[in-house]
């Protein structure tokens, strides 16, 4: 039975490890996002790993073929629980993929660029699966939303990570 596992890579070698693992026919997942970078008075966006020095690979731990991962270029080791590789829950991988755009880049909540009046859905917490209207960003971690609760419009503050566009 295949599970996902986290692979610890050499510094700035996530892409190299990804390529070499894929060549060995492993299913590999390297979540990336568009990072804003400024250099010499220029601001641009560049792809960057969501988890620097980590990527995910799927394999069956009962099959000895996974042991070649440790000797793959760019890889240091698997994240382990004692001597055994520690599995990553499928729903974690699924959630990261669900938050990815058509080009495969993960959309971070702070990059949603929501406008006042935009319809949003609260994804986690006490108000999970409730739709609301975006009012404003309170700070980098919270948004203010207007939701219908018990027949009235109520203003709530929600963690920005719990918000997705509706």
Domains of the chain, by residue range, sit at 2-107, 110-165
Look at residue 113 and tell me whether its pLDDT is greater than 80: no
- Answer yes or no: are the C-beta atoms of 141 and 101 closer than 8 Å: no
85-109 pLDDT per residue, tens: 999 999 999 988 988 888 888 877 6
What is the dihedral sign for C-alpha 145, 148, 152, 157?
negative
- Answer yes or no: are the C-beta atoms of 112 and 163 closer than 8 Å: yes
What is the dihedral sign for C-alpha 113, 101, 46, 71?
positive
115-124 pLDDT per residue, tens: 888 888 888 7
Give the pLDDT of residue 141: 67
Give the pLDDT of residue 20: 98
- pLDDT, averaged across the chain: 88
Q: Which CB contacts under 8 angstroms, 24+ apart, belong to 134-137?
A: 134/163
23 or 128, higher pLDDT = 23
Measured torsion, CA atoms of residues 146, 150, 151, 152, in degrees rounded to the nearest 10: -40
Say which CATH topology domain 2-107 has. Alpha-Beta Plaits (3.30.70)
9-37 pLDDT per residue, tens: 999 999 999 999 999 999 999 999 888 77
Look at residue 139 and tell me whether its pLDDT is greater than 80: no
Q: Backbone phi, then psi, for 15, in 5-degree steps?
A: -65, -45
Give the pLDDT of residue 111: 63
The pLDDT of 155-160, averaged and rounded, is 83
The predicted model scores a pTM of 0.69
| CATH number for the domain whose boundaries are 110-165 | 2.30.30.30
Fold agreement (2-107, 110-165): no
- Strand ranges (E), the chain: 2-9, 27-29, 32-39, 42-49, 54-60, 75-78, 80-81, 84-85, 87-88, 119-122, 130-137, 142-149, 152-159, 163-165
Give the pLDDT of residue 109: 63
């Amino acid at each position: 039975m295949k599970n996902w596992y986290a692979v610890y890579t050499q510094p700035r070698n996530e892409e190299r490890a990804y390529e070499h693992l894929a060549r060995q026919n492993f299913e590999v997942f390297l979540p990336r996002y568009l990072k804003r970078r400024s250099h010499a008075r220029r601001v641009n966006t560049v792809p960057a790993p969501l988890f620097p020095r980590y990527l995910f690979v799927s394999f069956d731990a009962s099959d000895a073929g996974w042991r070649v991962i440790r000797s793959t270029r760019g890889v240091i080791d698997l994240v382990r629980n004692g001597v055994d590789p520690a599995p990553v829950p499928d729903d974690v991988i699924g959630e990261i993929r669900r938050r990815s755009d058509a080009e495969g880049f993960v959309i971070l909540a702070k990059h949603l660029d929501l406008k006042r009046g935009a319809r949003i859905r609260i994804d986690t917490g006490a108000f999970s699966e409730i739709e609301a209207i975006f009012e404003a960003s309170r700070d980098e971690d919270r948004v203010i939303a207007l939701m219908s609760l018990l027949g009235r419009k109520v203003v709530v503050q929600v963690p920005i990570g719990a918000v997705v566009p509706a």
